[in-house]
Chain A
């Protein structure tokens, strides 16, 4: 299990990595909340595969879960930005 500091570090690392940044950008690319969630979760998995050294078993379940959760949250924020800041 992750300790509290471990958890905070993992969340911060994901916010400043693909799930946070690309997740936000992907969320801004759609007005559909469901599509945003799928894209955000997808980028969470991609990040773990890409930066986990292409060894899916190397990362632990909590790391995957946090990367996916951060990806979804960022994509939802991106989608909200799209709704608020664009008419198309």
Chain B
């Protein structure tokens, strides 16, 4: 029994009391109540999180920044914006993976776009052109490394009827299958204009990725982009 003359213990700080309360067993709420409430809270939180994430996938969201005007204009001239079938691929279809962990990664990495919008890295047409190759290079590297994963969400070489395609396209796609090529090997300019020196830049990416892969598996792998383009007899797209 405590003695009334004993000095009172010092009152603990707010954070300490909250911490202790958080880890103390509840005396007024049942286990079932906690489980059901936690389950409902989890659904609400995850639903809201996923919904917010989906909002950032809309074209309106992507082009709401001033710096996206140039590439939006270029994209609107392409077959991915207007075509005979009426199927449209918007920004996120090509730039945001469907797989959850890669999608979250893309969203986190996109924070740099907000940063550059704020500091005005590409706010003038001159600045945009100055950075065009570097920006394109980053996207090509990602696509090459992922075997054009986002292209393949809609397109599959295996499902193409080459007899319905133009002769050149059919032959090129057959070559792509035979030589284990990926979409971005030929279609670097499919949605945005190409910068001068893009072929050299893409060859550099191909060589670097081949070097990383051969270092990982011990076998050399390389693709000669100039030879592919010579074969296809194309300049871009």
Contacts and interface: CB of A to CB of B under 8 A. Distances in A.
Contacts of B147: 58
25 contacts: A1-B212, A5-B112, A6-B109, A8-B109, A9-B104, A9-B105, A9-B106, A10-B105, A12-B105, A12-B108, A13-B100, A13-B101, A13-B102, A13-B103, A13-B104, A16-B100, A17-B100, A51-B99, A51-B100, A57-B217, A58-B146, A58-B147, A60-B216, A84-B23, A85-B23
Interface residues of A, number: 23
A30 interface: no
B227 to A, nearest CB: 26
A53 B152 CA distance: 12
B101 A14 contact: yes
Contacts of B212: 1, 60
Question: Which 10 pairs between the two chains have the least Cβ-Cβ distance?
Answer: A9-B105, A13-B105, A13-B101, A13-B104, A17-B101, A9-B108, A9-B109, A12-B108, A51-B99, A16-B104
Contacts of A47: 101
Contacts of A9: 104-106, 108-109
Interface in A31-71: 47, 51-53, 57-58, 60-61, 67
Contacts of A1: 212
A23 B147 CA distance: 29
Interface residues on B, range: 10 to 19
Interface of B: 23, 99-106, 108-109, 112, 145-147, 212, 216-217
Contacts of A18: 101
A13 B23 contact: no
Nearest to B215: A61
B43 to A, nearest CB: 14
Given A47-B101, A51-B99, A51-B100, A13 B108 contact: yes
Contacts of B104: 9, 12-13, 16-17
A15 B2 CA distance: 49
A88 B146 CA distance: 45
Contacts of B101: 13-14, 16-18, 47, 51, 67
Contacts of B109: 5-6, 8-9
